[in-house]
Structure 1
Amino acid sequence: MKYFILVGERSGDLHGASLINEIKAIDQDAKFFAWGGSYIRQTGAEVLADYSSINFIGFSEVLVNLSRLLGRLKECKRHIQEIRPDCLILIDSPGFNMRIAKYAQKIGIRTVYYISPKIWAWNKARVKLIKKVVDRMLVILPFEKNFYQEHSLEVDYVGNPVLDAINNYQADQQFKAQFENKKVIAVLPGSRPSEVKNSIEVIERLVVVFEEYTFLVSAVDNLDQELYKSLIRYENVHVVSGKVYDVLSVADAAVVTSGTATLETALLGVPQVVVYRTSLLTYLAAKLLLKIPFISLVNLLLGRKVVAELIQGEYDSANVVAELETLLTDEQAKKRISEGYSEIRKILGQKSASKNAAKIIVDLSRS
């Protein structure tokens, strides 16, 4: 069987790679083609394009790169038409992937959407489109199943692949040994250039205020490493590429750009402050469209504020310093956060998302 996997960011690349390995265990003759990154490439799949070429978020970024994105859409459609996979697997990234889903449905390609787009947060009307163009929807957050059922669409909750990744994580002991006697603050500035750029100024302030701490900045290996260059001049800063879990495993606290990383940080038990800043146009549009009280997966899953969220104008060095001081010194705050993290594990359950998703995808492809 031939499988075509399409991802748009680091977390999708990671989960796509895990899914490929599980499909291989069921379908020994499987052939994989992908738009992905380094994780998927390591599985032996034929990566036709890197996901960084479509990794844009927000109205401003999309508008500036519209011509490029339209060209990539055309190229992706051509790849799918030439390969004619038995199953197209879309992972998150709705702006690009929903357009590809419409095309696949038009030419008769079966489509599975693994990791639902967050339409429950901002565009519930897309349920109707999903019904038309997606053959099977696999969700990774328990409340997503309830959301789709309310809209008369049956979906499968397969478990959460972040939990799989954490459970399978084996620490780099040599890396850990470098920092075992040091006080460490981890910074996860995001997987997009705009997110990293928004974080640099704040990070430069933090490393001066917390000069007794070592700062580990988790870099994304498919981004231009020049983005992190200004941080290298600080003696207490290490830019670490491709070792997110190792960075978190030695951290006393973390500053985390909103996204999947907030859940990864929670499951690794690290107290965190969640941050996010985007363009003014995107922010104002989001204020009008978003239907949710929080932006971090931690608070969304728990239905209450457990970790602080500093968004847009609130995301400045003074506020981050204050939140970090609380995380590092307030035992009651740390206890409350830890209890919330334990609750998240119970909510997510013990299902193996990658195995469950792989079985559903292979069965659908063979039917």
Structure 2
Amino acid sequence: MKYYIIAGEASGDLHGSNLMKALKKQDTDAQIRFWGGDLMQAAGGELVMHYKERQFMGFIEVVLNLRKISGHIKFCKKDIAKFKPDVVIFIDNSGFNLRIAKWAKEQNYRTQYYISPQVWASRAGRVEKIKRDIDAMYCILPFEKAFYQKYNYEVNFVGHPLIDAIADRPQIDENEFREAHQLGAKPIIALLPGSRKQEISKMLGVMLSLVDDFEDYQFVIAGAPSQDFEFYQQFIKQDNVSFISNKTYDLLSISNAALVTSGTATLETALYKVPQVVCYKANAISYHIAKRIITLKFISLVNLIMDREVVTELIQGDLNKKRLKAELNAILDEKKREALFLDYYELEQKLGGKGASETTAKLIYESLIN
């Protein structure tokens, strides 16, 4: 079978790569063409465009790059038509993917979606478009199935692929890791400022403002594979700061606490049982527009899945040195840490067991041969 997969961002690349590996187990003759990143490329297949070339965050950034985005959409449609896939598989990345899905369905391509767009967060009216344009939806968050049922749309809850991604990674030797990256013996506070330049620019400076107030700890920036060290360097003013690129999971496995930009990283941090403070700051105009259309009580996946505040969220004006320092001190306290660990274990149970990628690949393949 011929599979055309469209993913965006580092998380989509990770989940896309695992789905590709699982598809190849189901279908040994699989031909895969994709939009994604380095991990998907390593899994085998033909890369069309890297996600680094189309990363735009927030309403203003999207508006400023409309011509470029329009060009990508036009090119994608032509590329699909040329490849003639048996199925087009979309992974998250709703702004781009739902536009392609509408066209693909009109052209009578089979359409399947892995990792639902966050229609439960805003613009629920998009559900009608999904029902019209998507043949099958594979959800990874437990509350999504019930959400879609309200709109008479049956979806598959397959569990969360991060369970697999983390469980399948070999354990590292902490001493060797510290030595390899010239880390001292002090306990580590990991900084996860996001993967996009706009996120890093908004978040990293505030995170690093705490370095001199926590001399008994060392701060380590988890560099995203999509950005070079030179970009991060402009924000680093202190000596007690290290930088490690593309080793976020290894870093989390030996960290005592973390300051994390809202997104998939909050869930990854929780699954590694690392106490965290969730940070989010956007362009002021983008934030106020989003605030009008997003109806959620929380922004972090941890709190959304648990349906209560488990981790503290510092949003927009609340993300300042004073608040961040207080919250970091709180999660370094043993009592608070014990409570967080218990909540994290409960969270993991809600996410289901292993096998999300394999389950999804099996369902996709069976839908094509039946």
Give the TM-score range, shorter chain. Answer: over 0.9
Q: Give the match for residue 78 of structure 1.
A: 78
Measured in 2, the distance between the counterparts of 1:232 and 1:292 equals 34
Secondary structure at 1:122 match in 2 = coil
CA distance in 2, matches of 1:204, 1:137: 40
Amino acid at match of 1:272: Q
Deviates more, 1:201-210 or 1:172-181: 172-181
Would the aligned equivalents of 1:17 and 1:39 in 2 still touch at CA under 8 Å? yes
Counterpart for residue 359 of structure 2: 356
Distance 2:179 2:256 in 1: 15
1:326 matched to 2:330: yes
**How far does residue 351 in structure 1 lie from its aligned partner after superposition?**
4.1
**Is 1:140 paired with 2:140?**
yes
Q: How does 1:201-212 map to 2 (within 5 A)?
A: 201-212=205-216
Per the TM alignment, residue 233 of structure 1 is displaced from its structure 2 partner at its CA by 5.4
Write the letter of the residue equivalent to 1:220: A
For residues 71-97 of structure 1, what are the alpha-carbon distances to aligned partners after superposition, in whole Å with 9 as ceiling and x for unaligned?
111111111111111111111111111
Question: Counterpart of 2:244?
Answer: 240
- State the alpha-carbon separation in 1 of the partners of residues 358 and 161 from structure 2: 9
Supply the distance in 2 between the matched residues of 1:261 and 1:55 (Cα, whole angstroms).
17
- Tell whether the 8 Å contact from 1:277 to 1:312 is kept in structure 2 after alignment: yes
8 Å CA contact 1:217, 1:238 repeated in 2? yes
Q: CA separation in 2, counterparts of 1:70 and 1:118?
A: 22
Contact conserved, 2:208 with 2:236, CA < 8 A, in 1? Answer: no
Q: Mapping of 1:170-209 within 5 angstroms?
A: 170-173=170-173, 174-176=176-178, 179=183, 181-209=185-213
1:64 corresponds to which letter in structure 2?
L
Q: What letter is aligned with 2:137?
A: M
Matched, 1:288 2:292: yes
Give the secondary structure class of the aligned counterpart of 1:343: helix
- Give the distance between the partners of 1:184 and 1:366, measured in 2 at CA: 50
* Deviation of 1:231 (Å): 4.6
Report the Cα distance in structure 2 between the residues aligned to 1:247 and 1:78, rounded to whole angstroms. 41
| 1:313 aligns to 2:317 (yes or no) | yes
Cα deviation code 1:296-318 (max 9, x no counterpart): 01101111101000001111122
Q: Check the 8 A contact 1:302/1:344 in 2, yes or no.
A: yes
Structure-2 separation of matches of 1:222 and 1:75: 22
Aligned length: 366
What's the CA shift for 1:226? Answer: 2.4
Q: Is the 8 A contact 1:122 1:289 kept in 2?
A: yes
Structure 2 gap segments, 5+ residues each: none
Q: Distance in 2 between matches of 1:171 and 1:236?
A: 26
- Tell me what 1:268 maps to: 272
Gaps of 5+ in 1: none
Residue in structure 2 matched with residue 110 of structure 1 by the alignment: 110
Q: How far apart are residue 191 of structure 1 and its match? A: 1.3
Higher helix proportion (structure 1 or 2): 1
- The answer to whether the Cα contact below 8 Å between 1:265 and 1:272 also exists between their aligned partners in 2 is yes
Q: After the TM superposition, which parts of structure 1 deviate over 6 Å for at least 4 consecutive aligned residues?
A: none
Deviates more, 1:266-275 or 1:208-217: 208-217
Structure 1 residues 171-201: Cα deviation after superposition (integer angstroms, max 9, x where no partner): 3323156658321000111111100111232
Contact preservation (8 Å) 1:180, 1:250: no
1:211, CA displacement in angstroms? 2.9
What secondary structure is seen at the aligned counterpart in 2 of 1:142?
A: coil
The one-letter amino acid paired with 1:298 is V
The match for 1:159 is 159
Return the match for 2:339 from 336, 339, 344.
Answer: 336
Q: Is contact 2:205-2:235 (8 Å) kept?
A: no
Letter in 2 for 1:139: C
8 Å contact from structure 1 (residues 232, 239) kept in 2: no
Amino acid in structure 2 at the alignment position of 1:281: I
Contact kept in structure 2, 1:189 and 1:196, CA below 8 Å = yes
Aligned CA distance change for structure 1 residues 172 and 351 (closer, same or farther; 3 Å): closer
**What's the % identity of the aligned pairs?**
45
SS in 1 for 2:220: strand
Q: AA paired with 1:84? A: K
> Is the CA contact (8 Å cut-off) linking 1:176 and 1:246 kept in structure 2?
no
- Contact (CA 8 Å) 1:19, 1:357: kept in 2 or not? yes
> Retained in 2: the 8 A contact 1:3–1:31?
yes
**Residue number in structure 2 paired with 1:252:** 256
Counterpart-to-counterpart distance in 2, 1:63 and 1:333: 42
**Take 2:256 and 2:114, find their aligned partners in 1: how far apart are those partners?**
33
